[in-house]
Amino acid sequence: MPIGLPYSRFTPDASAYDAIVIGSGMGGMGVAAILAKAGKKVLLLEQHYVIGGFSHVFKRNGYEWDVGLHYVGDVHRTGTLPNRAFRYVSNGKLEWTSMGDVYDKAVFGDEIYDFVRGRQQLKARLQTYFPAAPDVEAIERYFQLLDDVHALHPGYFIEKALPPFVPAWIGRLLQKKLLKYADRTTLSVLQELTSNTRLIGVLTAQYGDYGLPPAQSSFYMHALVANHYIEGAAYPVGGSASLAATIVPVIEAHGGKVLFNARVASILVSGNTATGVQMADGTTLRAKAVISDTGIVNTFLKLLPPEVAQKHRLQDVLQPLAPATAHVGLYVGLRQSPEELGLPKNNYWVFPPNYDHDRSQANYGSADAPLPVAYISFPSSKDPTWTTRYPGRSVIEVIGLLPYAWFAPWADKPWRNRGADYVALKERIADTLLEQLYHVEPQLKGKIDYHELSTPLSTRKFVGHETGAMYGLAHTPARFRQRCLRAHTPVRGLYLTGQDVTVASITGALLGGVVAASAVLKSNMLSHIVRETSA
């Protein structure tokens, strides 16, 4: 499927809008599409020169890489909520291809554990890896916990869209059972099931999907991710750029407009009501509603006027929230096809052989220390259109989690001109990530044509997250207690969308858009989407 550019550079337009959406990540595109289909006049503004947020791609030296979308769970199964939501915002044009029976492989030294699709199949596979009676029982109890958490999803999302005038006790009632799991760390819950650290290490091998090791992450977030992929994973046909290429035309077909190179300088507020935005070039644009997909921290502390933030004590509101872990991404290009290289569809999670993710993260004090986790993805193997679009070429992405502080000394240096020390640090990290790649696919040694490393400073520049965190806010137990993480804000007519409203992931961001649209339209759009996609 060819990927076009059905959107425009920013040009001033004095028209008033029903809604202005700031940021074109999945939460921004999603809410814009839903509102446009509801008959609202929508303007979507993106500061970058590419639409899509973490779902966009970039191209270099004849290669194309994903930036943030590597696989998605439950979208390839008709009737699931993710499947319905993506179908709705793309008018059914966005296609998915299954990654097969094994979507993830967890690698601890020379030991490999397959994550197979299907709840019963995965349970059975894990029990073959851990056949001792106590471990078999622990795995049974673990899957029961996943079932228990899965049943709580509707209340979580409904509570996020409740308007401010609804009594707080109703929201607490909706979340009461959920907080039983959200208030505890993943490690504390699993340690009640088993004392086998090896089993715990394997069960939490996907912790990179939400960015925090077991002793720091909320078990609710862990269970969400485990349930998300448990029936298998899929990849967008045509690559992750297909999201913007199929959703933007829906926005425009319903009278909306999508603009890039359109940086918003501030949100306009009059009498505690959002009235529009002021652009970086001084242009003023008016709207009945302003919806921010830039993250709650950027919205409250960078886009709102200081006096408004001070009036509502927003700095204090944000105090309990911490940024997620920063990340680096190594983008690899090879001048052979995926078939010639024997590249798999499945992802790898590569770890040290100690099975203790928290200890590995704590010991990662420098670029020369053992890497605590590397995620390896093969988009050219996943996408059935790749060989047509890029014959005789392959790409690989290797991602690692690491402290933002390593890169802070260069934060104010110009992009792509940060000096020799910065380049040297990048090369050391790239070499470490390549070692992980060669560990699982040794036939690739000597065959790499091109590689490039992005750092947290790239995320900081292009996405605006101050500490380069792909997931925005850390998914700690404290996060799920914060009532500020919802669609409504203290400023009338100002709404939040995206993963800060719900949880990390492309799907989480889209459901954040559904929640935001529900708040703006004063209607349960989850139910509406289910009805509209039932035919």
Amino acid at 305: P
Residue listed under structure tokens 């990654």: 99
The pLDDT > 90 percentage for the chain reads 85
Angle, helix 153-160 to helix 506-521, in steps of 10 degrees? 50
Tell whether 459 is covered by a domain. Answer: yes
Tally of structural domains, the chain = 2
What is the domain extent for residue 437?
A: 323-463
The answer as to whether 16 is a domain residue is yes
d(CA 516, CA 19): 12
What pLDDT band is residue 164 in, cutting at 50, 70 and 90? confident
Are residues 433 and 487 located together in one domain of the fold? no
Same-domain status, 456 and 341: yes
| pLDDT, mean of residues 458-470 | 84
* 329 and 453 together in one domain: yes
pLDDT the model gives residue 1: 29
Q: Is residue 187 part of a domain?
A: no
What pLDDT is attached to residue 7? 58
Q: Which of 89-93, 154-158, 368-372 has the highest mean pLDDT?
A: 89-93
pLDDT top residue among 207 and 154 = 207
Q: Is residue 230 situated within a structural domain?
A: no
The bridge status of strand 284-292 relative to strand 273-279 is: antiparallel
Of 470 and 38, which is predicted with more confidence? 38
Sign of the CA dihedral running 400, 402, 407, 412 = positive
Report how far residue 251's alpha carbon sits from residue 42's, in angstroms, rounded to the nearest whole number.
Answer: 8
- What is the model's pLDDT at position 4? 37
Are both 390 and 412 inside the same structural domain? yes
Indicate whether 436 and 342 sit together in one domain: yes
Do 88 and 35 fall within a single domain? yes
Q: What is the pLDDT of residue 281?
A: 93
- Better-scored residue on pLDDT, 215 or 53: 215
* Residue 219 belongs to some domain of the structure: no
DSSP H helical ranges for 299-384: 306-311, 314-318, 338-341, 357-362, 379-382
Supply the pLDDT for residue 14.
Answer: 66
Give dist(CA 116, CA 346) in Å, integer.
Answer: 10
Which of 151-160, 271-280, 302-311, 441-450 shows the lowest per-residue confidence on average (mean pLDDT)?
Answer: 151-160
Average pLDDT of the residues in 461-487: 89
- Residues 22 and 84 both lie in one domain: yes
**Average of per-residue pLDDT across 48-72:** 93
- What CATH code is carried by the domain that includes residue 54? 3.50.50.60
- CA–CA dist 27, 204 (Å, integer): 27
pLDDT the model gives residue 160:
85
pLDDT of residue 8: 67
Q: Residues 315, 330: one domain? A: no
pLDDT on residue 465: 82
526 and 423 within one domain: no
Classify residue 357: in a domain, yes or no.
Answer: yes
The model's confidence at residue 367, banded by pLDDT at 50, 70 and 90, is confident
Model-level pTM?
0.95
Neighbours of 295 (CB within 10 A): 25
Q: Is residue 282 part of a domain?
A: yes
- Of 30 and 460, the structure prediction assigns the larger pLDDT to 30
Pairing mode, if any, of strands 284-292 and 72-73? Answer: unpaired
* Contact assessment for residue 491 and residue 274, using Cβ atoms and an 8 Å cutoff: yes
Instruction: Tell me whether residue 69 is in a domain.
Output: yes
CA distance 318 to 160: 17
- How much is the pLDDT for 342? 98
Phi, psi angles (nearest 5°) of residue 360: -60, -40
> Model confidence at 155, in pLDDT bands (50, 70, 90)?
confident
Residue 157 has pLDDT above 90, yes or no: no
Q: How far apart are the first and last CA of the chain?
A: 25
Instruction: Answer with the residue of higher pLDDT: 470 or 406.
Output: 406
> What would the mean pLDDT of 198-223 be, rounded to a whole number?
97
Q: Is the pLDDT of residue 470 over 90?
A: no
Mean pLDDT confidence for 419-440 = 96
More confident residue, 477 or 469: 477
176-208 burial, b at 16+ Cβ within 10 Å, e below that, comes to: eebbebbeebbbebbeebbebebbbbbbbbbbb
Bigger pLDDT: 10 or 102?
102
Provide the pLDDT for residue 535. Answer: 62
Residues 403 and 445 in one domain: yes
Please give the pLDDT value at position 29: 98
Of the candidates 21, 106, 8, the residue with the CA atom closest to the CA atom of residue 285 = 21
What is the rounded average pLDDT for all residues in the chain? 93
pLDDT at 216: 97
Q: Please check whether residues 328 and 451 belong to one and the same domain.
A: yes
CB atoms within 10 A of CB 464: 17
Whole-angstrom distance, CA of residue 31 vs CA of residue 52: 13
Choose one of 436, 463, 490: the last residue of a domain.
Answer: 463
Contact yes or no for 223/145 (Cβ under 8 A): yes
Please state which of the ranges 151-160, 230-239, 355-364 shows the lowest mean pLDDT: 151-160
Residue 6 has pLDDT above 50, yes or no: no
Q: What is the pLDDT of residues 499-528, one digit of tens each?
A: 999 999 999 999 999 999 999 999 999 999
Lowest-pLDDT choice from 166-170, 270-274, 315-319: 166-170
410-435 mean pLDDT: 93
CATH number, domain of 350, equals: 3.90.660
Same domain for 315 and 368? no
